[in-house]
Structure 1
Amino acid sequence: MIMSLVQFLKSKTFFVQIAIAIVGVLVLIFALKFWLGVTTNHDQKIQVPDLQKLSLEEVDRKLKELNLDYKIIDSASYNPDYPKKSVIEQTPEAGDFVKEKRKIYLTLNPSKYRDITIPDLNGRTKRQASSQLRAIGLNVGANYTYVNDIGKDVVRGLRHKGKILNVGDKLPLNSIVDLVLGDGKGR
């Protein structure tokens, strides 16, 4: 039994079968490489255009010309330097090379700042109220209104563009809020 196996390994038939197997594997590898090159458009390159500050209509037109798709993934914080509903960021970046039908992921500029809910600041000091308003994204104006009150520089109300604000009202981020303060002369 062992003798016949050793004779087979030394025979011409064994070497022919090994050669056929090696040729078969090489043909399979080259066929697979050719097929992958054709089906994946290996040599194709489309340069991604700069979509910054473009509207969705302009983006759609521009990407259809290049046979590219897009997907909106997010809207960022409002940026007043960019038009409303325009592209702020894109992935892949402008100038990168992609293949046709590749998706370009877009981040859009919202149409306005997000709204902030007015907190209850009645009875807080001017300093506490200013800190809290800045922390939630509102700006404190320099136009203080003083009312007759026993507490000096104690918040007795809030105003925005002259209008009195109530707890729970909403204002866009970065709005200017003026404080109504006690004058310390009341009883």
Structure 2
Amino acid sequence: MSLRKYLSSRVFLGQMFLALLMVAIIGYFFMHWLTFTTDHGNEITVPNLSKLTEDQVEEKLDELDLDYVLLDSVDYRGDYPKYSVVLQDPLPGAKVKVGRKVYIKINSSGFSSVKVPDLIEKSYREAVPTLKALGLEEGSITYIPNLGKDVVLEMRYKGRNIKAGDRVLKSSKIDLVLGDGKASYEEGIINDNLETPIEELPNEQ
């Protein structure tokens, strides 16, 4: 029998059908075994742990057969209670297996203090990123007559002048006094002359 006739014979087609059937059966049982060993279909929805204390987190996750790991505390955030969850991984709503660990970060107890940077005679564009890098915020902006436009002349905190090296709490707003660039060169010279003490004339004998 030629190969062409054999491939078109009932014997070959029957063997091919049986082989495909065996592959399908093995694949079916393999998928069911895989589903069973990986607990597929028995997934748990991760709850929202935001603003919960560590004790509340433990109680809530125990009810769901989940565990947690406290990674670290983050810089104090005023919109969260002290020692409450600020970040979690996996996020709320994620599907996980029984016993999965949820990693959390909690809010610290309060703002830490930082030293005020030296912004005097720096430009406004330089000053703002410097403040943000230290965890400080830009407050109100005031302009006064000065030759330097948008140059920092004074720093203020809660209405009082502060200097470089003073300590304030993180997230504090630092008010900036800037030059308006409208003072003329002549005005600057006049002001300097006014500040120069006038020598006393000799008494007439």
Please give the TM-score of this superposition, normalised by the length of structure 1. 0.60
What percent identity do the matched residue pairs reach?
Answer: 34
2:33 corresponding residue in structure 1 = 35
In 2, the alpha carbon distance for the partners of 1:110 and 1:69 equals 22
Q: Who is 1:112 aligned against?
A: 110
Letter of the 1:65 partner, please give it.
E
Is the radius of gyration larger for structure 1 or structure 2?
2
Query: How far does the alpha carbon of each residue in 1:70-110 deviate from its partner, in whole angstroms, 9 at most, with x for none?
Result: 34567555321322231124344445554312333434323
Aligned 8 A contact 2:113 2:168 in 1: yes
Of 168, 172, 195 in structure 2, the residue corresponding to residue 171 of structure 1 is 168
Q: Cα 1:177–1:14, aligned 2, differ >3 Å: closer, same or farther?
A: closer
2:24 paired residue number: 26
Deviation (angstroms), 1:52 = 1.8
After superposition, the C-alpha distances for 1:23-52 in whole angstroms (9 at most, x for unaligned) are 211111111221122122233243433312
1:14 and 1:83, CA in 2 relative to 1: closer, same or farther beyond 3 A? same
- SS of the equivalent of 1:112 reads coil
**In angstroms, what is the RMSD of aligned CA positions?**
4.2
Structure 2's unaligned 5+ residue stretches are 141-152, 177-191, 197-205
Q: How does 1:21-170 map to 2 (within 5 A)?
A: 21-71=19-69, 77-94=75-92, 97-113=95-111, 115-121=113-119, 124=121, 132=127, 136=131, 137-138=136-137, 155=154, 167-170=164-167
Q: 1:95 to 1:118 in 2, by over 3 A?
A: same
Assess, with a 3 A threshold, how the Cα gap between structure 1 residues 55 and 13 changes in structure 2: closer, same or farther.
same
After superposition, the Cα gap between the structure-2 partners of 1:174 and 1:134, relative to the gap in structure 1 and judged at 3 Å, is: farther
Cα drift, residue 53 of structure 1: 1.4
For 2:54, give the aligned amino acid: L
Q: Deviations over 1:6-33 (max 9, x none)?
A: 2322444423321221121111111122
Q: Which amino acid aligns with 2:171?
A: N
Residues in 1 aligned to 2:27 and 2:129: alpha-carbon distance in whole angstroms: 65
Q: Is the 1:117–1:169 Cα contact (8 Å) retained in structure 2?
A: yes
| TM-score, normalising length: structure 2 | 0.56
Q: Do the aligned partners of 1:112 and 1:172 also contact (CA within 8 Å) in 2?
A: no
